[in-house]
Amino acid sequence: MKNDTRIRILIIDDHPVVRAGLSSMLSTQPGIEMIGSAASGLEALALLETLVPDVILVDLRMSIQTPFVACQGKVERSRFAGPCEN
């Protein structure tokens, strides 16, 4: 598989073990490229300044700094087709 056909994934979760586990598991799959992970919505915003994920995996029950801050603030203005669903 060519690099340009890989699915680029960003993980947003406030639990380090979950981020590490998902990243480890997904990075072994053909066609998947883990491009980053964030522990908060604000950290995700910073990463989205330079990263262009195809998929963002989001913990919907994060204890602090809801990831929808990042999702609505950045993704709607990016190359993605539509806004995030609440």
pLDDT for position 72: 54
We report the CATH number of the domain holding residue 45 as 3.40.50.2300
Domain presence at residue 86: no
Q: How would DSSP label each residue in 20-86?
A: HHHHHHHHTSTTEEEEEEESSHHHHHHHHTT---SEEEE-TT-SSS-THHHHHHHGGGTTSSSPPP-
pLDDT tens column, 4-35: 689 999 999 989 999 999 999 999 999 999 99
Number of domains within the chain: 1
pLDDT of residue 22: 95
Question: How many residues are recorded in the chain?
Answer: 86
Domain presence at residue 44: yes
Asked whether residue 83 is domain-assigned, the answer is: no
Residue 85 domain-assigned? Answer: no
Q: Answer yes or no: is 82 within a domain.
A: no
Domain around 63: 3-77
Does this model's pTM top 0.85?
no
